[in-house]
Structure formats: C-alpha cells, structure tokens
Chain A
Amino acid sequence: MKHNIDFIEQWIEPGSRVLDVGCGDGSVLGSLRDQRNVLGYGLEIDPESISSCLEKGVNVIEQDLNKGLNNFTDQSFDTVLMTHTLQALRYPHLVLDEILRIGGKGIVTFPNFGNWRTRAYLSLRGRMPVTKQLTYQWYDTPNIHFFTYADFEALCKERNITILHRQFLANGFPDRLLKSVWPNLFTETAVYHLSR
C-alpha cells in the first residue's frame, strides 16, 4: 500500500541536493523538484521505472545499489532518501552507513513488520504474511529482510545514528486510529529522518 510521504518535504531545505536511492517512478523527486526546487537525482535499475522518470523529466541514473555507492563522494548531497528499499538490500546496515556518508541527512522508509496484520498472519496461519503492504510470496519477494521499527531503532543506536524525526503511517482501520497508542502494532510504514 502506498503512503503519502509529502510531509518529508518539510525536512528538506529548498534548493538543496537530494539523492533518491531506489527512486522508482520518480514521483517523490518530481514533487520535491516542483515544491522545493531541489536538485535531485534518482538511482534505479528497473527499465520501466527509468522510463517513467525520463517522462517526468526527473534525473535518473541507472545504477545497481547492491554494487555499492562508491562513486559518490562524502557529503556530496544534503539529503539521501531511500523509500521502501532498505528491506530489499543485501546489507541494509552498510547501506545506512553509506547514506549518511554521502548525505548530511538521510530519510528512510520501510514496511513495519511489527504491524498486527503480519503478526497475526504468521502466528494464526503459520505462514509468511502476504498483506497489502507485503504482497509477495516468501519465495519471490524482493524483501529479503523483515524487521520492525523497534529493530531499526536498535540498529540506529548501535551505529550511533541520530533520529531527528520519525513518522508512523497507516491507512487501514483501525491502524490509523491506534498507531499513536501502540505504534509497533499499528504502524504499516515507518519514516525516519536521520543524521550522524
């Protein structure tokens, strides 16, 4: 399920440099360009997504994230953004380090595996969850790491990453009403603003 993350615009300085790692169809970068006048580049490998970026006039660089981001120098961007990609990478913790090496700040979103739907699916059905958020079967999913936002925060602490802001998102009922009461149980997508 797609969540509106327009609110991240307020975390991004107008006119700043943004790298969107795994930029998909370029809609986030396109709106940041239009709303915040950022100079943005997206990294992507899917040909259809790349086409969508070109059609929007969004800068897109064909680059496989699993082969590293060595070509980008330290602190060459104000913000490095990664939406719904962390869970699909071989070494998420190393990529997080890279994000904060290249960018002054990082913005990361991921599906919260602690959501009650996934918990219930696994515990009651005894099968790996297939939900609106996580639509794949266990054998064909690109999402090779499952973690909750609590896991993510523990990792940040371990690696001395500062959490500047966080937002918990949910569209479903009763999730959107209850996510402030019991965030790990009702958050579908977690959004973090990070620095080091």
Chain B
Amino acid sequence: MSLETSDNHNDLSGSVGLVKPQKVVIEQPLKLACGVTLPSHTLAYETYGSLNKDNTNAILICHALSGNHHAAGFYQDDTKPGWWDQYIGPGKPIDSNRFYIVCVNNIGSCFGSTGPTSENPQTGQPFGADFPPLRARDWVESQKLLMEHLNIDCWAAVVGGSLGGMQAMRWSLEHPEKLQHAVVIASAMKLTAQNIAFNEIARKAIKSDADFCDGNYLQHNKIPHRGLALARMIGHVTYLSDELMGQKFGRDLKAGDLLQGKTEPVEFQIESYLNYQGDKFSDFFDANSYILITKMLDYFDLAREYDHDPVAAFKHATCKFLVISFSSDWRFSPARSREITDALIAAGKNVSYIAIDSDHGHDAFLLPNQRYQQALGDYLSKLAEKIEDAQ
C-alpha cells in the first residue's frame, strides 16, 4: 500500500507515530437512559490522519470494557503503542493515510473522561458508586456530541470489537443517517447467562475487598486493589482459549517443583501470569468503572425495545455491515455473530460475515492475524476508494 501521502518518516514503520490525547468539555446537557442528566461532561479523545475537505472520511473507533482513547501510536517516552495499533496506522487495515480516525474514552470509564473518579458537582466529592448507571446508548449519545464538536456530519464507519461492536450496532439503530458502515467484531446482540455470571463474579470480587468502602474508597484514600485484580483475573481467563493457555503456559512451573518429599510451595506459570495481569490492571483501572461498565454489558439487549425481534430492530438501520468472529472465542462466540448476520440478512440489510480461525479466544480481535487484517483492510479500502472517488 502506498505511503506517498505521508510526510512523516515514522510512518514507514506503519505507526501513526507520536500522538497526544485531547480533551473537550461538552457543555450540552446529556440526558442518560436512566433519566439522570449530566449538565456537561468531559471527553478525552485522540485522532489520527486528517479529515478530507468534505468531512466524509471519519471513522469512529469504539473501545470495549477496559479500553480507552489511546488506540494507536505512542505517547512521548512510551514504549508500548495504543491498544489497537496493529490495526490503525498508515497502510494498516484502518488506514490513517485515507481515513480520519477518532477514538474517544467513554463516560463512566477512567482515562480522563467524566466517570466515577470525577468530581460530583453536587457534593464536591468524587462520584464513586453514585455515578449514574449507563447504557451503551449513553456512550453513543455522548459520541454523537463529540462528532458535532468535530464537525463530522456522518461517519464513514463506526468500528468496534466486543462492547465496541455493541456501540456500532446501537449507532446503526439510533442514528441510522449518521453512519455509512458498521463494523461489528467479536460481539453479540446480548450477553448470555454465562457472560452475566462471570461479570457478577468479578463485581462480587471487587465489592468483597474491605478497601472498597461501598464504592467510596477515594474519599477514604483507599483503592480496592485485591478485589479489582481478582475481577480482572476472572475476566482474563474468559478472554483466552483453553488451547492458547495450554500452548502458552501448559503446566510449566514458575517456582518450586512437584517431586515428592518437597514442602516448598509450587507456582504454575499460569498463576504467576494471571496474578501479574490482575495486579497491573488494578494499578490503572477504577473499580467503580469496572462495576459500571460490566453492568452496562449485562443490560445491553439490542432488540429489547423492538419486541425482542432483532430483524425488526435492524430494519431501522440503513448502513452496511461487516461482522467478524473468531473460532475460539467462547465469551462472544461465532454463533452470536451469526445471529447478528442472519438477522441483518432477514432484515434486508447489506452485510458481509467473516469467520476467522484463531486460537486466541475473545482477545483475538486485538491481536495480529493475517486473515483478519486482510478482510478488514479489503472492506475498508473499498470504502476509502468510494470516498476518494467522490472527492
């Protein structure tokens, strides 16, 4: 793919290079699904690439449970790029040479946008557990306010994996005229009982930590590290596949050995890995945000207000869809993606469905995979071509 339009030499590596987060205070009141109105709210976001003269090449990236606005490129002095750097950049499937890419940290999260750690103007204290409950549609409405701030009238595409895919689908029903394509990756129209069960175990783990203080831990200068780490460990297991864990860790030992006659404790590699992941997560994620967003996932039901009929729901959409699933994803299995696809076909909507072979479980949507990159790239490159022809 051509890099000629790029004038930044860093781009040759396929990276958007150094990026800086931006912040905007949306002064317009946002009425949430629960009835509460946020009089104003702050959004942290990043953009990559440039908007064309007709403002028609903007792509919105929707993050999932623990994601944020730093989807691609590097911060100064950082060695790790954004969470979707494999897919966003010059010459990459979501090509920053051709698209203007917007990724926003959603409200209720904890990376700079208004959320449980923000100050509640009514009390002068952090919202904590009092932050109003959210639905995916609230994220969509907030994203729409950012869209207006950026002078974008219609997204070329709204793209997201997992909870991100749910936002893309919600966009297609709530504001059909505001997007041309929805790319729904490793997602579902609603969570299964098993999904909700895992989320509840995670929430219970957080609430069981004595430092949780009923959600008001910040006021007590405490952080429920142990509970949040445990919640993440549970979640993490569900994002990987049995095969992958077997390949990556097997029964390898990190410490001790299993010979008889030894008393020192044994630590399996998988134990060490999960503990590390849990601890790392509890250092940067907010426990109330975790509770809030897992509940948002549980409550999501695309067709609830359409008589529980997904076909009737999707009749409201006018955009085209790309649906992608991963074979070993058991959290949002390929069957869930097929349900989305079949409902779209029955509703007479344009849709393509790609079933990627991968042993990376649910996490596959974040990881490099040749076929996945190819399919997403082919689809979006056709879209870019169409936009460029119209210029």
Measuring CB to CB, which residues of chain A are less than 8 angstroms from any residue of chain B?
17, 39, 41, 47, 50-51, 53-57, 59-63, 71-73, 76
Contact = CB atoms under 8 A, between A and B. Distances in A.
Given A61-B345, A71-B342, A51 B378 contact: yes
Interface string B352-365: 11110000000000
Contact of B348 (A39, A54, A60): A39
A59 B352 CA distance: 5
B375 A51 contact: yes
B64 interface: no
Given A54-B375, A55-B378, A61-B352, 9 more contacts: A17-B348, A50-B354, A57-B382, A59-B352, A61-B345, A61-B351, A72-B342, A73-B346, A76-B346
A61 B345 CA distance: 10
Interface in B325-384: 338, 341-342, 345-346, 348, 350-355, 371, 374-375, 378-379, 381-382
B343 to A, nearest CB: 11
A68 B300 CA distance: 31
Contact of A71 (B338, B350, B378): B338
B352 A54 contact: yes
Max chain A Cβ within 10 angstroms of own Cβ: one of B351, B352, B355: B352
B341 A54 contact: no
A60 B352 contact: yes
Contacts of B386: 57
Contacts of B353: 60-63
Given A39-B348, A62-B353, A62-B355, A51 B374 contact: yes
Nearest to A39: B348
25 contacts: A39-B348, A39-B350, A41-B345, A47-B371, A51-B374, A51-B378, A54-B352, A54-B378, A54-B379, A55-B378, A55-B382, A57-B386, A59-B350, A59-B351, A60-B352, A60-B353, A61-B341, A61-B345, A61-B351, A61-B352, A61-B353, A62-B354, A72-B342, A72-B345, A73-B346
Contacts of B354: 50, 62
Nearest to B375: A54
A56 B379 CA distance: 9
Nearest to A33: B350
A142 to B, nearest CB: 20
Contacts of B352: 53-54, 59-61
Most chain B Cβ neighbours within 10 Å, of A59, A72, A76: A59
Contacts of A63: 353
Contacts of A53: 352
Interface residues of A, dominant DSSP: mixed
A55 to B, nearest CB: 5
Interface residues of B, number: 20
Contacts of A41: 345, 351
A96 to B, nearest CB: 21
B355 to A, nearest CB: 4
Contacts of B374: 47, 51
Nearest to B357: A47
B375 A50 contact: yes
Nearest to A41: B345
Contacts of A59: 350-352
A30 to B, nearest CB: 11
Contacts of A39: 348, 350
Most buried by B among A55, A57, A60, A62: A62
B342 to A, nearest CB: 5
Nearest to A76: B346
Contacts of B348: 17, 39
A63 B337 CA distance: 12
A92 to B, nearest CB: 24
A51 B370 CA distance: 12
Contacts of A57: 382, 386
Q: Which of B338, B346, B354 has the most CB of A within 10 A?
A: B354
Contacts of A76: 345-346
Given A50-B375, A51-B375, A62-B355, A56 B350 contact: no
A51 B382 CA distance: 11
Interface in B307-340: 338
Contacts of B346: 73, 76
Nearest to A62: B355
Q: Which 8 A-B pairs have the closest CB atoms?
A: A54-B378, A62-B355, A61-B353, A54-B379, A60-B352, A57-B382, A51-B378, A71-B342
B355 A54 contact: no
A80 to B, nearest CB: 13
